[in-house]
Every structure is written in structure tokens, then in C-alpha cells.
Chains A and B, each alone.
Chain A
Amino acid sequence: MTNAATPSVTAAGTSPVPAGSGERRKRHGQRHEQLTLLLMVAPFLVPFALVTILPMLSSVVLSLFSYDMLSMPSFQGLDNYLRMFLFDNVFLIAMKNTLVLAAITGPVGFFLAYILAWLINEYSPLKRSLLSFLFYSPALAGNVYFIWQILFSGDSYGFINGFLLQIGLIAEPIQWFRDQRYSLLIVMVVQLWLSMGITFLANIAGLQSINPVYYEAGAIDGIRNRWQELWYITLPSMKGILLFGAVMQIQATFSISYVATVLTGFPSVNYTTHTIVTHLIDVGTVRYEMGYASAISVMLFVVMAFIRVLVGKLINMTGR
């Protein structure tokens, strides 16, 4: 490894070796250096290719086939994609649910994570860390969303039912997780509750790293209230953090499945909380229709990538 530094001395012309050889040794040194660097990224890059890149590429290819993991794949053209939209009603329901979940919990969670971080930022450091811990705790605590099962329990001992019965708003307990009118709504509430995660932490950090000089300059330039300050100074100074938060939010909302399944069962009543990822798992690991599952994956990748680009454009518009 140490000989990487020597070729420059040789190439300086002090050695009796012909010029061409120095060049060759220099090139050799560079090649050696590139090899070292490749070896350093390999422990990450090889598994990364295995668990992310290859699966994505292979699902594009497999989406054109019918494949049950036992017999040979047979080519189907775009049939899998047609099937999704023409013959699979459950897919359409799952797509609708996912989009509704993403369209509501995505932006609401994103703004909540921003606004709370922004509010906390005005407090003293000690209060700030305490409050950020409190807000972050649901996301931190992992499996604590079981509490919602108890809060929304279907009998009169559930806290919400008990409360509503007591004040006379309902006459009999509601089966929250089985009732089509409420189950998706509850999944949204729980998802929002869990969404004060990494986005929130990034926002807190981003807000703290804005140089206060900008605010002083802004005040001189005629910024009158905190809303103008937010729009013209704070938001544009942390576009990168905002985009990061948005990406994390898209990632989280489009992969909702497990929480919904735990709360409302699998399959949920009339597929009320069936999401794309739930459907993927159903088609892939229960029915072993890998070609079709791959096509659904590809569809999901495309939708997510599209929304990611759209959000990137929106964030660039802050401060105008």
C-alpha cells in the first residue's frame, strides 16, 4: 500500500530508469490504489447489489414472465401488467388504499414533523431535547403501537369505546378494526403517530444549523413576521433536509403493511386496509405467483419514483 507514494519521486527524473518505465509504475500505483478502494467498498457494495440492485433488476425481468419458483418461467409479455388493472380487483383496492394512505399520512406526517421541530427550536436546549425525546419516543419504542389495539379495542373495555359510551355518543361498542368505515382511518392515525421519526430528527438538526445571521439580515430586509421568515429564510436554507425528510416519508408511507396487518388482521375485512405491500406479500409468499408479484413491485417502484421527483420539484419552489 505504501508504494503508492513512490512513483512521483521516480517520475521526477532523478532515477536512471527510462521515462517510460516511470509512467508505467505510476499507472501501476494508480491501479493498485483503485483496487484498494474497490476492496474497501466491496463489503458494502456486494451485499447492496444483492439485496437492492439485483432484486430490482430481476423483478423488471420477471414481471414479464409467469413463474411459481418450481417450473421454468414462461414468457407472458405484458400480461402481468394488464392483469393488475383489468382482472385483479384486490390490486385496485390495494392501490387505492396505498395512495389514500400516502396522500394523507405522507404530507400530514411531513408537515407535522416539520412544524413540531420548528416550534421546539424556539425553546432552550434542555427543553428542546426533552420535547424532542417525547415526540420521537413512539417511533423509537418500536412495537408500542400495540397500545392502539387496546385503546380501540372492540368491546366496552376499550378506552375509546368506553369514553364514547359514557358520554352517550354511541349506544353500543364499535368494532373499530373490523368496521370498514373506521379501520383505514385508524391505520392512518397510528401511522401518523409513528411518523415523528428520522424526518423529525433531521428537521431539528437542520433548524439548529441555520446561521442566525440570515435572520438578522432578513429582518433588515423587511421580513415582518415568523411566517415570512419561515418561507423566505428557514425553508430555503434547509431544502436538502426537506428533501431527505420527504424521501423518508415516501419510503415509510408506501411500505405500510405490517402495522395495518397487526391491527386489522390479514386479510382485513373487505380488504379495507389491504395495501400494495400487503398484496405483494399475499401474491408472492402465499400464492407463489412470482412473475405477477414482480410486476406489482415494478409498479410500486415506478409510482414511488414519480412521486419522489414531483416532491423534489415542489421543495425547490420554497422561498419564491
Chain B
Amino acid sequence: MVQQVKRYTRSRYGNFLLTVLLLVAGAFTTLPMLYSIMTSFKPIDELMIFPPRFFVQRPVITNYTELPILLSNLWVPFSRYAFNSLSISILTTILHVLVASMAAFVFAKTPLKGRKLIFTIIQFSLLYNAFTLVIPQYILFAKLGVINTYMAYILPFIPSALGVFLMKQYMDDNIPDSLIEASRIDGAGFFTTFWRIILPIVKPAWLTLSLFMFRDLWSLPQTGMIFNEELKTLPNVMSQIVYGGIARAGNVMAATVLMMIPPILVYLLAQANIIQTMSSAGIKE
């Protein structure tokens, strides 16, 4: 870590101004988060109080304990939604990381013809995400018979341009060409080199890709490509509870707080690696 020293380009007036800005922005981002946690512990009479209070007075856990009862009324059992969310998120994340790392390795470190052109296209396609492409994808997926299957969730995410982009930039900055040459002289093919040597040393990058992918899939909103209730995921259950209005606000927030735990855990585990990876994320033109 580079030691931050007090530099003489800093004025006290500027320090004050920027601290105020930091506090305002901090309040803007964290207060709603805090309010959602507060709300999840409020008993119903505190939810229906006027004027509403920010802090919870007599915290209860009924909002959490009521969830199973509330969820038992669902048409499709809750466990099915949870299974869908978990399996889709984990499976797709693993597939994406493998596929993206292998492709990134080829783009970064091998003599494949046309790799520069392909990578330029990938880099440009960062502009477009699954939401902006939804209609053309819908038509194509209908033709492929993918609509209303798990593939409709998985397929758009496996070839995420962001993953390949981040991984390739990271490899550019962190893997010396001599390493590849040494492995090749030892008689290893490109695939063996990738699998035995490269994959273990790009761990920070694949942790980063995993976080972004897992987060996106875990909170993936309802898509127009799934109609079958049995194939839907946890965010759908959330929106069903939300329609209960303020009286259900405590339950909604309890569910929200529970839902945010997995991505937060993944982030906390991978934090240092993510920062290390993101420092290579620049687009070179």
C-alpha cells in the first residue's frame, strides 16, 4: 500500500468543503440502506405511526419470523424459487468465469489471427447490456426455443463482454509474456498453459468476475422470457410481497435484508482482489 502523505497542495478551506460533500453524499447513499434495516425491525404499529420515525423504538423480529408463513401461501413453493435463484446464479457464474478467462487468455497472450479485431468488437459491445438488447434477443431466443427455459437466464450472461474485457486487461497487465514462452518451450500446448499456469495466477480477476456475475444474477429482475411460475427466481417473490403496501413494509424489508446478505458476503471476501483487478479496467484507445 502506498502511504498517503499530507501534501502541501491541500488547503484547509478545500478540506472542509470536500468533507462536507463527503458527508452529504454519504448520508444520501447510506441513510436509505439504514432505513431499510430499521424498517425490517419495526413492529406494525411503528410502521403505521404518524409522523413516521427513522429509528426503530421497540425492535422486533416478527417481520423475519412471519416470512415463512407469508411465503407458504405462494402458489409455487418458496423452496423452488430459492433453488432456481441459487442454481442459476452459481452455475452461470462458474461457466462465465471459465469461458471468459479462456477467451481472455487467447485475446491477451496468443497469436490467434484476428484476435485484435474481435476484442475491439467485444470492447465496443460493453455499451450494450441485456436490457438494451432485449427485443432482438427475444426474437432469436424464440427461434432457438430457449424462451421459458433455464437457458433464457443463463445464455445471455455466459458471454458477458464485461467479464472477458476485465480479465483480458488484467492479464495484459499482470502476466509476463516470458511465462507463456517458458511454458511453451517445456512443450505445453496453449490449453495446458492456460489451465495449469494462467488460471491459478489470475485468481483476483476471477473473484472479481464472480462477484459481478453473481450479483447481477442474484438480483435479476423478471425477464419477459420466462412465463412459467416454477422457473421464476427470488426477486419475483419479493415483488409479490411488495404489493402488500406499507402494512407489509416490514416484511418486504426483512426479505430485502436477507436477500442482500449473499452478494455482500461475496464482496467482503473478494474486496482486495476486486480493487486489484479494477485497476487494469481502463479502455485503451
Q: Which residues does A use to contact B, with CB under 8 Å?
A: 1-2, 4-5, 33-34, 36-38, 40-41, 43-45, 47-48, 50-56, 58-59, 62, 69, 112, 115-116, 119-125, 129, 131, 133-138, 140-144, 146-151, 153, 155-159, 162-163, 165-166, 193, 196, 198, 201-202, 204-206, 208-209, 212, 215, 219, 223-229, 238-244, 247-248, 250-252, 254-255, 257-258, 262, 277, 280-281, 283-285, 290, 293-294, 296-297, 300-301, 304-305, 308, 312
Shortest distance between the CB of B45 and any CB in chain A (Å): 11
Residues of B within 8 A of A225 (CB): 9-11, 14
Residues of B within 8 A of A296 (CB): 135
Residues of A within 8 A of B263 (CB): 140-142
Q: Are A251 and B126 in contact (CB under 8 A)?
A: yes
Q: Are A143 and B128 in contact (CB under 8 A)?
A: no
Shortest distance between the CB of A129 and any CB in chain B (Å): 6
Residues of A within 8 A of B29 (CB): 134-135, 137-138, 193, 196
Residues of B within 8 A of A226 (CB): 7, 9-11, 14
Q: Are B274 and A40 in contact (CB under 8 A)?
A: no
Q: Which residues does B use to contact A, with CB under 8 Å?
A: 1-2, 4, 7-11, 14, 18, 21-22, 25-26, 28-30, 32-33, 35-36, 39, 47-52, 54, 98-100, 102-103, 105-107, 110-113, 118, 121-122, 124-140, 142, 144, 155-156, 158-159, 161-162, 164, 184-185, 187-192, 194, 212, 215, 218-219, 221, 224, 235, 238-239, 242, 245-246, 249, 252-253, 256, 259-260, 263-264, 267-268, 271-272, 274-279, 281-285
Partner of B279 from A37, A131, A146, A206 at Cβ < 8 Å: A206
Instruction: Give the complex CA separation of A147 and B242 in angstroms.
Output: 10
Instruction: Give the complex CA separation of A82 and B28 in angstroms.
Output: 43
**Quick one: closest B residue to A124, CB to CB?**
B4
Partner of B32 from A33, A129, A147 at Cβ < 8 Å: A147
Known: A129-B271, A204-B278. A157 touches B47 (CB 8 A): yes
Residues of A within 8 A of B4 (CB): 121-124
Instruction: Give the complex CA separation of A226 and B14 in angstroms.
Output: 8
Shortest distance between the CB of A264 and any CB in chain B (Å): 13
Q: Are B132 and A297 in contact (CB under 8 A)?
A: yes
Instruction: Give the complex CA separation of A155 and B50 in angstroms.
Output: 10
7 A-B contacts, Cβ less than 8 Å apart? A37-B106, A37-B110, A41-B118, A55-B137, A143-B219, A146-B242, A280-B134
Shortest distance between the CB of B271 and any CB in chain A (Å): 6
Residues of B within 8 A of A121 (CB): 4
Q: Are B21 and A33 in contact (CB under 8 A)?
A: no
Q: Are B118 and A45 in contact (CB under 8 A)?
A: yes
Partner of A201 from B1, B28, B278 at Cβ < 8 Å: B278
Q: Are B103 and A44 in contact (CB under 8 A)?
A: yes
Partner of B252 from A116, A125, A146 at Cβ < 8 Å: A146
Q: Are B221 and A258 in contact (CB under 8 A)?
A: yes
**Quick one: closest B residue to A239, CB to CB?**
B282
- A134-B30, A198-B212, A205-B274 are known; give 6 further A-B pairs, CB within 8 A: A33-B190, A50-B159, A141-B260, A142-B218, A206-B279, A208-B2
